[in-house]
Amino acid sequence: MSSSVPAFVSPDEMEVLFSAEQIAQRVAALGEEISHEYAGKSVVLIGVLKGAAIFLADLARAIKVDNTFDFVAVSSYGRARVSSGAVKLIKDIDNPIEGRHVIIVEDILDTGLTLSYLRGLMLQHKPASLKIATCLDKPERRLVPIEADYSCFKIPNRFVIGYGMDYAERYRGIPEIRLYPENPPGH
């Protein structure tokens, strides 16, 4: 194993921050809120790959109004645990959103750099409305003034994995959200 690849830590060794049941309840509530707000309208969910894919899938099913989805991919972390601060667009949306009601769906809002960048990018496409939904909100880490319109949970300034969120591409499929150890082995 390369020294740049972190050692695997068993998820069973990590504290559960939110159970699969807690996540499902909050996503269902968020879906109801969005459905109420967009009653009689159609909405486009734009998921931020890869971390938001699972949250977007669950949220799309919880929203009871007509909805479609698309994806963007950006990079600000690479293989690191801390954002580099520079956001790079890797994949733009495939379909036009001009005149559409759009919700950017992200796994976690921490520094705000990625979502601020994406908000600016999506506004260039002239949507009818643009909002942000995030599974997790980590306000202690905010570097730019941006808030989510919809959020499942506020969390402390700790690194988390599971429910789509990873550490070096691992742990995305864990159904709950867990706290990654403060000092991972090998670091």
Q: So which residues are the catalytic ones?
A: 110
Q: Which residue reads 């009871």 in tokens? A: 64
- Rounded CA-CA distance 179/136 in Å is 13
Nearest residue to 69 (alpha-carbon basis) of 108, 35, 42 = 42
- Rounded CA-CA distance 166/171 in Å is 5
Amino acid in position 39: A
Q: Can you say how many angstroms the Cα of residue 89 is from the centroid of all Cα atoms in its chain?
A: 16
User: Could you tell me whether strands 88-91 and 67-75 are parallel, antiparallel, or unpaired per DSSP bridges?
Assistant: antiparallel
Nearest residue to 152 (alpha-carbon basis) of 131, 171, 136 = 136
| CB contact at 8 A, 99 and 109 | no
